[in-house]
């Protein structure tokens, strides 16, 4: 089953942007700001897409001191 079947188009775009930026492990996680620049979507859409990816089990959020980090888990 492909990711396109499980999440919306903005979430797919954010997923692909994260994959292109190699945010595949906790050590290589990135901020929402960096994902926003790569996906070329408004920050609100990126935040909603990240929430959707988290709920479906594709991404994980790690709370850090200054900004939260995101990375893919599948």
pLDDT tens track for 19-39: 999 999 999 999 999 999 999
- pTM for the model: 0.93
pLDDT digits (tens, 9 = 90+) for 37-70: 999 999 999 999 999 999 999 999 999 999 999 9
Choose among 48, 44, 62: nearest CA to 12: 48
Structural domain contains residue 13:
yes
Residue 42: closest CA among 17, 10, 66? 10
Is 71 contained in some domain? no
The total number of structural domains that make up the chain: 1
How big is the chain by its Cα radius of gyration, in Å? 11
Range of the domain at 7: 3-61
């Amino acid at each position: 089953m492909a990711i396109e079947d499980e999440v919306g188009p903005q979430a797919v775009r954010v997923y692909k942007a994260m994959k292109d930026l190699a945010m595949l492990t906790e050590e290589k996680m990135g901020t929402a700001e960096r994902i926003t620049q790569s996906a070329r979507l408004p920050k609100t859409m990126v935040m909603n897409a990240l929430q959707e990816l988290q709920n479906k089990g594709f991404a994980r959020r790690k709370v850090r001191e200054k900004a939260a980090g995101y990375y893919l888990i599948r």
